[in-house]
Chain A
Amino acid sequence: MRGGLWLSETGGILRTWLLTKAWLLPLLLILGFAFSFAIPYYGLLDPYVQLILMYIGINIILALSLNLVNGYMGEFSVGHAGFMSIGAYISSILTVKVFSASSAAWLFPVAVIAGGAGAALLGLLVAIPSFRTRGDYLAIVTLAFNMIVKSVLENIDAVGGARGFLGMSKLTTLPLVFCWTVLSVWLIRNFIYSNYGRGVLAIREDEIAGELMSVNTRQVKLLAFTISSFFAGVAGGLFAHVLQFINPRMFDIVKSTDMLIMVYLGGIGSIGGSILGATIYTFLLEILRPLGIWRMVIMPLTLVLLMIFRPRGIMGLREFAWFLPKTARTNRLAQLRKEGEEWRS
């Protein structure tokens, strides 16, 4: 017992220290940004490792976007790959067919945002059935949405149909992925720690009670779905310009399941969780690659074990202190100090 006491007290001290040193975060971000430039420029890392780092960034955006709907709002979307594909296709069409070859590079952010906006528009459409249906039923609606998007894309010859679409240059770079990831995390964090974010949490906890406490649940759901699908679209745009080739099959239910795994592995309702989940999952997939087909046994098995021993994921409903906005941080600090005093007395 004493060991446990000691552990939780040191944990408390560590957490208090991290909280008071929140200025370290911008410092780390600047360092990270510098590295994201230096790595490809000086060839510090193997191109293969660089590729994985980019996937991690993209997957963080994906996981966080899905976490907003599934983790924070408590709805169950299983069709987020649909939004991703819209972003991928729109941005690819823009950079290949609309923008001239010389301007495509610096207009790339515009293409990514346009992809996100297209996905957001569809997100609005998916939000409407969520007014009335919840849980399993909404899962079926989003699943159907995923299938529809895939079939539609397969049948549009202008974008290559089932053969896929290619011709993109490799416009996604490591610093670009870094910036997009930081920006996405920041925006989603801000949304969650706002009045609308509290509305999102109220819907998860008790939708009817939320509505009766003056939360405009329709508005909140529209916003959450729109923002979530926007970032899924952004991730799609970045993804398409890493791979330089996309086809509709890449964005089927399997891709959606990947996102679900990242969210539930890292932990629902947690930004830190999504970052961890996306990072660990992407790494594991690569590390286990030599195992071949066994990979598909070990990964699910890990998940089953995780669900048994940590059903809410690694970070479930908890948050790294650094991701909290200032007021929430001060509150957390006050609480930790209070708990610390209780421990000592």
Chain B
Amino acid sequence: MALLKVDHVTHYFGGLCAVSDFNLLLKPHELLGIIGPNGAGKTTVFNIITGVYRPTEGSIYFNDIEIKDKTPDRITAMGIARTFQNIRLFNELTVLDNIAIAQYAKAAYSPVEALLHIGRYRREEQRIMERSQELLALFKLDGLAFEQSKNLPYGLQRRLEIVRALAAEPRVLLLDEPAAGMNPKEVDELMTFIGWIRKEFNLTIILIEHQMRLVMGICERLVVLDFGATIADGAPHEVQGNERVLTAYLGEKLKV
């Protein structure tokens, strides 16, 4: 059974077709990569799945529930969390608050309890803070809990973004170019890291990436997009030799 099913999704920006007839069946525990040239519509696919855009046509099912019309916060609360291509942390807030915000939907107390600091407030806040500290310790960020997130070095900001997404307790994690700006050694570390969180948090992962080293290294299946259309879908070694993929990346062969 598919955990996530994207069914004939098409999305237009004005007259421009950003994604055309996109289909995806994601099995539990799969690690899927989406690759393609710049502007192929990869991030748009993420934005459609997470509810930022409502697709022009088609439907999306998560656990057999239609999520196309749900708001991003509902979708995240249901179990799809993501990171961003350009880091989007809550800059002025502390590392701890960044993590706590992602647990918004998990806190069970009413506005009245919040205003008066009574009832479930104390217990729930304590639980959220403990959980946040636990996560930070697990990812070796606990020494920086009260630092403003904008002051963290780039690599740690990337890591914090992933931890923040994990704080929402997702079943599906969407990573948008996690290796952007990393050198080969860091990419190797990231590969181990992704493998580890996948097992530790029992995740199904979709990642968008340009670095072939990462994509070929850990993805079990690849979907290749070009101009919004799927041009290949299969195991990394199959996709590697695909004629259309080579054309999309390198251009057509010169006819002599």
Residues of A bordering B, CB below 8 Å: 187, 190-191, 194-199, 201-202, 204-206, 208-218, 223, 227, 317, 325, 327, 331-332, 334-335
User: Are A196's CB and B125's CB within 8 A?
Assistant: no
CB of A123 to closest CB in B, whole Å: 14
Give A217 to B90 CA distance when docked, in angstroms.
15
CB of B112 to closest CB in A, whole Å: 10
User: Are B115's CB and A191's CB within 8 A?
Assistant: yes
User: What class of interface size applies to chain B in its complex with A?
Assistant: 35 or more
Q: List A contacts of B227 (CB < 8 A).
A: none
Give A223 to B104 CA distance when docked, in angstroms.
15
Tell whether A213 pairs with B114 under 8 Å between CB atoms, given A199-B101, A327-B125. no
Q: List B contacts of A209 (CB < 8 A).
A: 84, 88-90
Binary per-residue interface labels of chain B (145-183) against chain A in the complex, 1 for a CB within 8 Å, 0 otherwise: 110000000000000000011001000000000000000
| Cross-interface CB contact of B105 among A191, A216, A218, cutoff 8 Å | A216
Tell whether A212 pairs with B101 under 8 Å between CB atoms, given A191-B115, A194-B114. no
User: Are B105's CB and A214's CB within 8 A?
Assistant: yes
Interface residues in B49-75 (C-beta closer than 8 Å to A):
50, 52, 71-74
A-B contact pairs, 17 of them (CB 8 A): A190-B114, A194-B109, A195-B104, A195-B114, A198-B97, A201-B90, A201-B97, A202-B90, A202-B101, A206-B89, A209-B88, A212-B76, A213-B168, A216-B105, A217-B73, A218-B71, A327-B126
Give A205 to B87 CA distance when docked, in angstroms.
13
Q: List A contacts of B115 (CB < 8 A).
A: 187, 190-191, 194, 227
Q: Is B91 an interface residue (CB 8 A)?
A: yes
Tell whether A190 pairs with B116 under 8 Å between CB atoms, given A205-B91, A209-B88, A211-B71. yes
Given contacts A206-B90, A208-B52, 8 further A-B contacts (CB under 8 A): A191-B114, A196-B111, A198-B101, A213-B168, A216-B104, A217-B73, A317-B92, A331-B96
Q: List B contacts of A210 (CB < 8 A).
A: 90, 101
User: Are A195's CB and B76's CB within 8 A?
Assistant: no
Which residue on A lies nearest to B50, using beta carbons? A212
Q: Is B40 an interface residue (CB 8 A)?
A: no
Q: List A contacts of B168 (CB < 8 A).
A: 213-214
User: Are B128's CB and A212's CB within 8 A?
Assistant: no
User: Are A214's CB and B125's CB within 8 A?
Assistant: no
Q: List A contacts of B72 (CB < 8 A).
A: 208, 211-212
Q: List B contacts of A190 (CB < 8 A).
A: 114-117
User: Are A214's CB and B104's CB within 8 A?
Assistant: yes
Give A128 to B177 CA distance when docked, in angstroms.
35
Q: List A contacts of B165 (CB < 8 A).
A: 213
Give A269 to B164 CA distance when docked, in angstroms.
23
Give A209 to B90 CA distance when docked, in angstroms.
8
CB of A148 to closest CB in B, whole Å: 28
Give A209 to B164 CA distance when docked, in angstroms.
11
User: Are B146's CB and A335's CB within 8 A?
Assistant: yes
Which residue on B lies nearest to A199, using beta carbons? B104
Interface residues in B91-144 (C-beta closer than 8 Å to A):
91-93, 96-97, 100-107, 109, 111, 114-117, 121, 124-126, 128-129
Q: List A contacts of B52 (CB < 8 A).
A: 208, 212
Q: List B contacts of A204 (CB < 8 A).
A: 92
| Cross-interface CB contact of A214 among B73, B97, B124, cutoff 8 Å | B73
User: Are A198's CB and B100's CB within 8 A?
Assistant: yes
Which residue on A lies nearest to B91, using beta carbons? A205
CB of A79 to closest CB in B, whole Å: 23
Q: List A contacts of B76 (CB < 8 A).
A: 211-214
User: Are A213's CB and B146's CB within 8 A?
Assistant: no
User: Are A201's CB and B93's CB within 8 A?
Assistant: yes
Give A214 to B164 CA distance when docked, in angstroms.
11
Which residue on A lies nearest to B170, using beta carbons? A214
Give A199 to B74 CA distance when docked, in angstroms.
14
Q: List A contacts of B89 (CB < 8 A).
A: 205-206, 209
Q: List A contacts of B91 (CB < 8 A).
A: 205-206
